[in-house]
Structure 1
Amino acid sequence: MHQKNKQKMPCQNPPAVVGIVCEYNPFHRGHARQFELIREKLPEAAIVCVMSGPFTQRGMPAVYAPAERARAALTAGADLVLELPALFAIREAEHFALGGVSILHDLGFVTHISFGCENHEIPLLAEAAQVLEQQDDCFTDRLREALGRGMPFAAAQGWALAQVLGREERETEESLPLSKEALGRIFSAPNNILAISYLRALARLHSPIRPLPVLRVGSYHETSLDPSRGYPSATAVRTALAKENWAEAQAACGYDHRGLPFHPEKSLDLVLLNELRSMSKAQLAALPDCTEGLQNRLYKACREALNREDLLRRLKTRRYTYARLSRLCCHGMLGLTGRMLKENPLPAYVRLLGLRVGQEGLLSLLRQSSLLVVSKAADGPLEEDAYRLDEKAYDLWALGAGEAAGLMYRQGVAVCP
């Protein structure tokens, strides 16, 4: 465990350090391209990744263990990979981004944050971030109106932002006029939602970290790995891996996955149902984002459903997206409660997953950080709820992948040349 150390080490520090908040589920050529674009703009920059652990933002287990995903990122050019605690990794965009940006900010040496977006209209996205942070009556009234119509939250938020920020003569930096409908589509695009969340987190933390956007190319949920379609989607890669199409996956990712412990998508379905069925309505109501009587639907649905897909289908309404419901179910399986979130508004620690050889300067900066950095799991804050949640996430992931418990403690720091 590394704590703040004021003694300087005689080594050269990188002129710029670019942070990326990511999942890499799994790492593929599109992610490697982001590294290339960063270094086209900042050739000498070091790249620090804050990556989700065993479970992703949508509440699904990652296909590969954090150590393997970190190793892939390091091999492709990342210099340092840290783990985003599960308490923030399995959250909606606002708090997923806040957790990652908070870690980058508290490290004290990150100069930029790079993220994907649908366009380069950062001033426009920054305005949206400001509106979301202020939450004035004009915005909240329109958000309530949209939600009252049964719109999913992301779409309702995008629509409300467009009503507040839309003006007849509004133009982009390329002097293209934007209607309210066009603004709504911009603000509702998945990558833009995260981009706005990163900008909002930077503003909330009064962070000097500068945004370094990368234009996203390709479809979010494209199922084909046809090279003519451009960079692969993670969905397409996971589909190929599930079918053991190793050659296709290797072409899309740049490395061979065979022999790595793999987590099949449905392997925890019965564990999930068992955990949810063991909970009372009051316990379900204590889950984050379980509002408006959703605990009653969940209580009934988990007793009737035979698998995870069936459960989500029974819960789905026009108001609730699959992503929100999937996170809710994952929270129940892991035991994440609203109380934990209130007691841990920001990450208090970060785990070191891997680093590249020759990054002594970066390692020195890491040791001087005010943030608690854990390099050996047994030396972490073992009595903290957030840390125990990480441990449970690892053990559940291991169970689904056919591995023994204690994975978090067996997993060492990946070191790549």
Structure 2
Amino acid sequence: MKAVGIVVEYNPFHNGHLYHLQETKKKTGADCVIAVMSGNFLQRGEPALVSKWARTSMAISAGVDLVIELPYTFAVQSAERFATGAVALLDALYCAELCFGSENGEIEPFLQAVQTIKRQQSRYNQSIQQALKDGMSYPQAVTYACRQLEMKEIDLAQPNNILGFSYVKAIIEQKSAMVPQTIQRIASGYHDEVFSHPWIASATSLRKALNGAIEALEHISPYIPFSTKKALEKYYAVYGTFHRWEPYFPFLKYRIMTSEESDLQSIVGVDEGIEYRLKQAITEAETFEQFLHSVKTKRYTWTRLQRMCVHILTHFKKEQMNGIKSPSYIRLLGMSDNGRLYLQMIKKRLSLPLVTTVSRLQKDVIYQQEKKAVAAYTAIFSETTRIQALKEEYATPPVHFNSCK
């Protein structure tokens, strides 16, 4: 069996994701699709709309064969570290190819861009450092460095392009045998906040339309598969909410107000004295959005600040992250019959332990942080519901979709 890997968040799974999934199968001819998916907190520093179990159900129902969790320590990170973890897991599962969506739509420019930067790595790094010193954000600094190299292969200012570039770079650096492929995004941009197509919309616009309310579900129905709609309805019926940042703000506020500046400075992402801005702004902010507006600077993008806030919320320290270079286990969240067959075929060759229950991970440093993330994610529930959600994390077996039913 030939497997292809994809890197996803499915927040939530929508028609654009379905298009990517179907085109991936066509382009690669793979027998098995393996998705590495972020857990309860996402790359842009946001709580996932619904839990990883609900999003796994969406994925398996739509045709993904295996869903593997990208650990928090790689998921809530910049593109480079995010890609490092995802590529390592897909490579460990013997994927022949990795297929990602991009604004560019052709793989050759990505390969050329990686080689261009590799040849001029020192100059590239110096340009980024100079741009950061000049007050640019990191994405702006990358764009500036590419211009300095007169790199015309690809526009790395585009969010999916920079993720795709990071996947290709990670494949090369890890000496993986995986072949990178890409499919062009259609109809909507990554950050689009309005609907501009009859059946394709960005996840950003879908979350904005929902705004935490089940009543808005009918409004987004044309843009999501029926299985996604049912999964969202089921989650809301059990937990009474769709997750967004505002309900977590009181917990973040408590963390910041009861921490010394030196304590905050030890947290991942808290650099260059921004801990003083955090302490100053938190006392007057009434909402999370107001707080971020108060802290935001030219260098600190909204996404970078959100990631920082998630790390404060989950108490993720720099010394912890610095000790983690690659994933230490493969956590299986869901599978189809076809996915089960593929695992049976490769399981004796796996270089990382395949985990279906987390009892064996209690001493694993990566999973220690995962436990904190779960505790933070479930903190907004009532006590009874929170206990139920924690049990789900520790006792839920992988979601299984029987294609014969």
**Is the shorter-chain TM-score for this pair beyond 0.5, marking a shared fold?**
yes
* Deviation for aligned residue 1:135: 6.8
* 1:343 and 2:328 are equivalent in the alignment: no
* Deviation for aligned residue 1:212: 1.3
* Aligned equivalents of 2:113, 2:91: Cα separation in 1: 21
Of 142-151 and 206-215, more deviation after overlay is shown by 142-151
Contact 1:264/1:401 (<8 A) preserved? no
Contact 2:285/2:291 (<8 A) preserved? yes
Q: Which residue of 1 aligns with 2:12?
A: 26
Q: Which residue of 1 aligns with 2:371?
A: 391
Q: Which residue of 1 aligns with 2:258?
A: 278
For residues 311-358 of structure 1, give each alpha carbon's deviation from its aligned partner in whole angstroms, at most 9, with x where no partner exists.
211110111100001101110110111111111111111211000024
* Aligned equivalents of 1:143, 1:358: Cα separation in 2: 45
The within-5 A match list for 1:115-154 is: 115-130=100-115, 136-154=121-139
Match of 2:185 among 205, 212, 216: 216
The amino acid across from 2:225 in the alignment is G
The within-5 A match list for 1:221-300 is: 221-225=191-195, 227-228=197-198, 231-241=200-210, 242-243=212-213, 244-255=215-226, 256=229, 257-260=232-235, 261=239, 262-265=241-244, 266-300=246-280
* Aligned equivalents of 2:66, 2:251: Cα separation in 1: 34
Q: Which residue of 2 aligns with 1:373?
A: 354
* 1:195 and 2:174 are equivalent in the alignment: no
What is the root-mean-square deviation of aligned Cα atoms in Å?
2.0
* Deviation for aligned residue 1:227: 3.8
For residues 70-89 of structure 1, give each alpha carbon's deviation from its aligned partner in whole angstroms, at most 9, with x where no partner exists.
11111111000010111111
For residues 13-64 of structure 1, give each alpha carbon's deviation from its aligned partner in whole angstroms, at most 9, with x where no partner exists.
x1x2111111111111111111110122234431000100010011111011
Q: Which residue of 1 aligns with 2:362?
A: 382
* Aligned equivalents of 1:390, 1:84: Cα separation in 2: 10
Match of 2:48 among 49, 62, 65: 62
3-state SS in 2 of match to 1:400: coil
Instruction: Answer 1 or 2: which has greater helix percent.
Output: 2
**Normalising by structure 1, what TM-score?**
0.87
Contact 1:267/1:401 (<8 A) preserved? no
3-state SS in 2 of match to 1:201: helix
3-state SS in 2 of match to 1:399: coil
For residues 152-177 of structure 1, give each alpha carbon's deviation from its aligned partner in whole angstroms, at most 9, with x where no partner exists.
110111121122144xxx6x6xxxxx
* Aligned equivalents of 2:75, 2:376: Cα separation in 1: 15
**Cα pair distance change 1:42/1:121, threshold 3 Å:** closer
**Cα pair distance change 1:334/1:161, threshold 3 Å:** same
For residues 267-298 of structure 1, give each alpha carbon's deviation from its aligned partner in whole angstroms, at most 9, with x where no partner exists.
11101111122222112111223222122222
**Cα pair distance change 1:220/1:358, threshold 3 Å:** closer
Contact 2:32/2:338 (<8 A) preserved? no
Q: Which residue of 2 aligns with 1:320?
A: 300
Of 206-215 and 352-361, more deviation after overlay is shown by 352-361
The amino acid across from 2:165 in the alignment is I
Of 153-162 and 394-403, more deviation after overlay is shown by 394-403
Contact 1:263/1:401 (<8 A) preserved? no
* Aligned equivalents of 2:397, 2:247: Cα separation in 1: 25
Contact 1:23/1:51 (<8 A) preserved? yes
* Deviation for aligned residue 1:123: 3.2
* Deviation for aligned residue 1:410: 3.4
Q: Which residue of 1 aligns with 2:34?
A: 48
3-state SS in 2 of match to 1:24: coil
3-state SS in 2 of match to 1:187: coil
Contact 1:17/1:48 (<8 A) preserved? yes
Of 299-308 and 113-122, more deviation after overlay is shown by 299-308
* Aligned equivalents of 1:366, 1:301: Cα separation in 2: 52
**Normalising by structure 2, what TM-score?**
0.89
3-state SS in 2 of match to 1:268: helix
Q: Which residue of 2 aligns with 1:411?
A: 396
5+ long unaligned stretches in structure 1: 1-13, 173-182
Higher relative contact order (CA 8 A, sep 6+): 1
3-state SS in 1 of match to 2:183: strand
Q: Which residue of 2 aligns with 1:333?
A: 313
Match of 1:80 among 66, 89, 93: 66
The amino acid across from 2:97 in the alignment is H
The amino acid across from 1:220 in the alignment is Y
5+ long unaligned stretches in structure 2: none
* Deviation for aligned residue 1:93: 0.6
Contact 2:4/2:98 (<8 A) preserved? yes
For residues 231-258 of structure 1, give each alpha carbon's deviation from its aligned partner in whole angstroms, at most 9, with x where no partner exists.
2100121123334222233321112221
